[in-house]
Amino acid sequence: MSDRLDLRGRGLNTVPGEVWQPRGLRSLALGRNPLGAIPDAIGALTSLTALYLDQTGIEALPEALGRLQALRSLDLRETAIAVLPDWLAELPALQRLDLRWNGLLGPPPVVRRLRAHGCVVWL
């Protein structure tokens, strides 16, 4: 069993349910799929350190993502996210956040908090 799962560019509208079973998954790539939303089940992947949601069309981050305390890298390039939740700054391990090519209107306040904790943020 691999600790990485790459489902990029598979034309997925939803993520298969077995993906959300906690099993030591450390890297999950869902980019380039027309997902639109990420289910709360993502909160079960507590070993996840890298999450790639680029070009998925998601409009919001599920609050359950806040349970991913080991998450170090989050790729949200070219999504439809217009607002970032404040709890994002509470992810203790987050080191990299890619927000390029989004609908964000200026840097959200949470970006300043993330940068103050040493997180590199691309806007």
Between residues 115 and 23, which one has the greater pLDDT?
A: 115
Reported pTM: 0.94
Give me 123's structure tokens. Answer: 């806007």
- For 46-113, strand residue ranges (E) read 50-52, 73-75, 96-98
Domain count, the chain: 1
| Domain encompassing residue 18 | 4-122
CATH number at residue 55: 3.80.10.10
Q: Kindly report, residue by residue over 36-72, the tens digit of the pLDDT.
A: 899 999 999 999 999 999 999 999 999 999 999 999 9
